[in-house]
């Protein structure tokens, strides 16, 4: 597993940097759009569906944990 994938699965709120060869915005961190990680410049990651599914399950789990802490 790559470091990026490892971080995505273990660090809350982590997103990868833009991977474009030339980024208009000087390679900021990307945001998750529900399918892939995107940059404002239009670049998009290309994780396979199985990884994205695992990541979404992890996000849902993070949210569940946050709720428990609050109540
Ligand atoms: Zn970019």
Interval between CA 32 and ligand 1 midpoint (Å): 13
- Name the β-bridge partners of 37: 32
Q: Tell me the per-residue pLDDT of 2-13, one tens digit each, with 9 for 90 and over.
A: 999 999 999 999
Q: Tell me the per-residue pLDDT of 18-44, one tens digit each, with 9 for 90 and over.
A: 999 999 999 999 999 999 999 999 999
Interval between CA 31 and ligand 1 midpoint (Å): 11
Residue-number span of the structural domain to which 23 is assigned? 3-70
Per-residue pLDDT, 67:
73
| CA distances to 11, 45, 46, 48, 61 from 64, in Å | 15, 26, 27, 25, 5
Interval between CA 45 and ligand 1 midpoint (Å): 11
User: Structurally, how many domains does the chain consist of?
Assistant: 1
Per-residue pLDDT, 32:
97
Taking the model in full, what pTM does it have?
0.86
If one compares 34 and 71, the residue with the highest pLDDT of the two is 34
């Amino acid at each position: 597993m790559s470091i990026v994938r490892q971080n995505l699965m273990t660090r809350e709120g982590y997103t990868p940097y833009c991977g474009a060869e030339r980024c208009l915005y000087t390679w900021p961190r990307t945001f998750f759009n529900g399918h892939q990680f995107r940059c404002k410049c239009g670049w998009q990651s290309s994780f396979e569906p199985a990884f994205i599914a695992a990541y979404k399950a992890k996000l849902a789990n993070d949210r569940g944990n946050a709720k428990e802490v609050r109540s």
